[in-house]
Chains A and B, each alone.
Chain A
Amino acid sequence: MTTQLAHTPLFDWHVSHGGRMVDFAGWSMPVQYASIVAEHRATRNAVGLFDVSHMGRFLIAGPDAQTFLDRVVTRRVTGMKTGQIRYALVTNKSGGILDDILVYHLVDPDGKDFYQLVVNAGNRQKIWDWLDKQRTCPTAGTANIDWRDITTDTAMIAVQGPRALEIVRPLFDVDVARLRYYYGVESKSSGGAGLVSRTGYTGEDGCELIVPADSALEVWEKLVAAAAQFDGAAAGLGARDTLRLEAGMPLYGHELSEDINPFQAGLGYAVDLEDRAFPGRDALLALRDDTSLPRRAGWILSGKRVPREGYDVFDGEERVGHVTSGTFSPTLDVPIACGYVRQDLAVADTQVAIDVRGRREPARTVELPFYRRTT
């Protein structure tokens, strides 16, 4: 049985510009237009444009929106300033990660608070169903919220790299350069209202735009033209993956899953346990100091062969972990990998070996991220 893949509002543009379309979480998305390395470098050196419309977007408003979210995500939603965005996790009762998400605290034109969640494409239905289940609380009753999934009504475009703010600026009536990191604001884009936020998934400065689906192409084409002046370019999911991996950012389905807790993943900063009540909170309190579970680590290999997902990690003859993501780093010019390993080995400078298709390749454990921008 074949299932119909979903198309973003920019699908036709991708196809007509040489995008190699692949199935990603049920969406037909460009993995690359020409070269992943060229798109990666354009983003590090100038600006890369990414269609990330496949990410799930939910609006949550109504009198109980804040208290409701506060009891489902790992970080406090109460106290978020208007425009503020928080990276947070949704965990199950045992503390396993259901998704990593962004929570936006926004205000509508009438001055009423509302929230937006951006969730992973592959978890959109799961998180929707989970939130729906959590709406009913045994002690607080059913949360009074108005919520809807706006994923297909909108498009989401990430503009990333040192030139990103410069090219986004003329398109919006807010000064994006003055927008603080992890803040967002509603603006009037040329084709209608849009949300601009100083967020991203590449390790570069930049922003993400959420615009109505029917104005997406117009905004995108303006960005493409502006980016070309700086040798910037549209970039596909391939470059998005190499960029996020260099930046040490975990990807759901690889570094994150329901079998991994946030502390193992190195995401303790995204978990507030004090005076909180959310699914998994009590389990996480016990797991916080559990040293028996593997931890996420990063490795640089000395050869040229690239470790891939699923490859085993060895300390001598003992299998001590596995790779969850690996690539050849275009910026560092070496193979890099992320994965989980016995906790005492997840320490910088520890030497391990990774079994790359039958041959043990020496690997050095490094602090994440692999790459940090200098400005």
Chain B
Amino acid sequence: MQPQDLLYAKTHEWVHVREDGPDRFATIGISHFAVEALTDLVFLELPEVGRQVKAGESFGEIESVKAVSDLYSPVTGEVIEVNAGLPDKLETFQDDPYGDAWIAKIKITDEAGLAELMDHAAYQKQCAEEGH
């Protein structure tokens, strides 16, 4: 996936929304900016498949040598799949943040959270303001 085609949460998660008939599915990861800011990743906790999450709710954690950060779900829905091999291959975040390092897929049940997400240009502006 190309970073330009994705949506972003203030908390640095990216979202790719796929429509399938009446259903909408979100694939979620964390941005290259976030990976660079965290550095030295040591631990990832994935959400559980089947869990109902609300947009903005913590649904996992990612830990670096320096600190731990919550992962926030950018959308409301049900976790239908997680990238189970990712916690053992954390270098993937560095190598392919918008592809192989996807974290979870969520079936969107309420579109409320989607409106809050930024496009790539707006997200880049936020990153520039955070100074990096």
Contact = CB atoms under 8 A, between A and B. Distances in A.
Interface residues of A, number: 17
A154 interface: no
B63 A306 contact: yes
Nearest to B87: A304
Contacts of B67: 308
Interface stretch (B11-19, B35-43, B97-105): B35-43
- Chain B interface bracket (under 10, 10 to 19, 20 to 34, 35 or more): 10 to 19
A32 B37 CA distance: 11
- Residue of B45, B61, B63, B67 contacting most chain A CB atoms (<10 Å): B63
A34 B39 contact: yes
Contacts of A305: 43, 45, 63
Interface in A305-342: 305-306, 308, 327-328, 330, 335
A48 B45 CA distance: 32
Contacts of A59: none
B43 A36 contact: no
Chain B interface main SS type: strand
A197 B132 CA distance: 36
Nearest to A359: B45
B68 interface: yes
Contacts of B65: 36-37, 238, 242, 306, 327-328, 330
Interface string B59-71: 0010101111000
B68 A238 contact: no
A304 B87 CA distance: 10
A298 B39 CA distance: 25
A308 B63 CA distance: 11
A35 B65 CA distance: 10
A36 B42 contact: no
Interface string A8-36: 00000000000000000000000110111
Interface of A: 31-32, 34-37, 238, 242, 304-306, 308, 327-328, 330, 335, 357
28 contacts: A31-B66, A35-B39, A35-B40, A36-B39, A36-B40, A36-B65, A36-B66, A37-B40, A238-B65, A238-B66, A304-B42, A304-B43, A304-B63, A305-B43, A305-B45, A306-B43, A306-B63, A306-B65, A306-B68, A308-B68, A327-B65, A328-B40, A328-B42, A328-B43, A328-B63, A328-B65, A330-B65, A357-B68
Given A36-B66, A305-B63, A306-B42, 10 more contacts: A31-B66, A35-B40, A36-B39, A238-B65, A238-B66, A304-B42, A306-B65, A306-B68, A328-B40, A328-B65
